[in-house]
Structures are given as structure tokens and as C-alpha cells.
Amino acid sequence: MSPVGFHNLAQIHINGEWKTAEVAKQTPLLYVLRHQLDCKSVRFGCGSGHCGACTVGLNGQAVQSCETPLGAADLQTVETVDYLMSNEIGSVVHQSFIDVQAAQCGYCVNGILVSLVLLFRQNLSPDRDQIIRVLDRHLCRCGTHTRILKAVDLAKQRLADLKLHVQGGLNGTP
């Protein structure tokens, strides 16, 4: 029998599929995603929840997976950038980033995209303060903040235009 908190099974609904991980429940979700579940798009940045590179969706909320213990994701839904880019909102946000060349090295962009898609899923017309609050948790060491904001504005406009043409609104989940 294992000691309490060590090598427990956790089930995670990750990117639309149930997966099982066997590690200590206090292990950071980031390590489980990258090393056991092969989600390489989730990046290690600072390891202390300050840069946002490891951001994933947990039950529709953006969290830093480096400071989220696996136990918090047990029997919960986790979404990575790969999954979120496969829906209408995600593809619009992603294309907007490409069109304005918002990413330079690209290391931070996965976490930023996750946070923005989750924001747009809740509100297709966020105001500038809401956008800044979401982006405030992300560090871009290349300094492309102005281009990131241009990409967000472009995505916001495209989503508004698309909403007018799609009966029933947009589908925010893949």
C-alpha cells in the first residue's frame, strides 16, 4: 500500500479524452501533462506561476499548471492550446496572431492563446480592461505586447463579424 498522497491515480478529462495519471497528487499538473500525457504544447517557464507559459484551461478557467497540483485536476476538465485552437474561437484568435505576427520567439504564446480563447468563450466583446487583466498574468520576454494587443483587437473584430454571419452564435468548444 502506498503512503498517503503518493502514487495515487488521477483521472483527467484532457482535450476531450479521459486519461489516467499515477503520481503524487501534489505533483504539478505541468509535469503530468508534459511527461505522462505527452502534451508538449504546455511549456515550462518560471515554475512559480509568474510567467504564464504553462497556462491551461481547468474547467474553463485559465490556470498556471506549474503551480496547480494534479489533485486539483482529478476528475476535472483540462484544455491545452492544441485543443482550444481546434474550435471556431480558437482558430480566429490563432489566425489573428499569425496575421499581425504577434509572436516573436513564440515561447509565451501558447499560454496567452489559452487565456484569450477562454476569455472570448465567456465574452465575445471584452473591454480593454478585461483584456489587460487576462494578459497581465503573461510575460513576453521579446516585448511584443503591442502586437499582441493588435492581434486581440483583430480577433475581437473578426469574432464580432463572424457572429453576425453564424446563426446561433459561435461554438466555443471543439
- Note the pLDDT tens digit of each residue in 38-53: 999 999 988 888 899 9
Q: Could you give the CA distance from residue 30 to residue 33 in angstroms, rounded to a whole number?
A: 5
Do 93 and 72 belong together in one domain?
Answer: no
DSSP structure class, residue 139:
-
Do 114 and 160 belong together in one domain?
Answer: yes
Q: Are strands 8-14 and 77-79 parallel, antiparallel or unpaired?
A: parallel
Q: Could you give the CA distance from residue 76 to residue 74 in angstroms, rounded to a whole number?
A: 5
Do 44 and 105 belong together in one domain?
Answer: no
**Cell numbers describing residue 56:** 491551461
Could you tell me the pTM of the whole model?
A: 0.89
Q: Which of 79, 114, 141 is the last residue of a domain?
A: 79
Q: Could you give the CA distance from residue 7 to residue 143 in angstroms, rounded to a whole number?
A: 41
Do 75 and 89 belong together in one domain?
Answer: no
Average pLDDT, rounded, for the chain: 90
Task: Please report the pLDDT score of residue 50 as a whole number.
Answer: 86
Q: Could you give the CA distance from residue 10 to residue 24 in angstroms, rounded to a whole number?
A: 9
User: pLDDT category, 162, cuts 50, 70, 90?
Assistant: confident
Give the amino acid at 122. Q
Q: Is the pLDDT of residue 85 over 90?
A: yes
Query: Does 173 fall in a domain?
Result: no
Query: Does 3 fall in a domain?
Result: no
Phi and psi at 11, nearest 5°, equal: -110, 130
CB distance 133 to 65 below 8 Å: no
- The radius of gyration of the chain from alpha carbons, rounded to an integer in Å, stands at 17
Alpha helices in the chain (DSSP H): 29-31, 70-73, 81-84, 88-99, 109-122, 128-135, 145-165
Q: Is the pLDDT of residue 167 over 60?
A: no
Do 153 and 95 belong together in one domain?
Answer: yes
Please give the residue range of the domain that contains residue 124.
Answer: 85-165
**Cell numbers describing residue 29:** 499538473
Q: Which of 79, 106, 133 is the last residue of a domain?
A: 79
How many domains does one find in the chain? 2
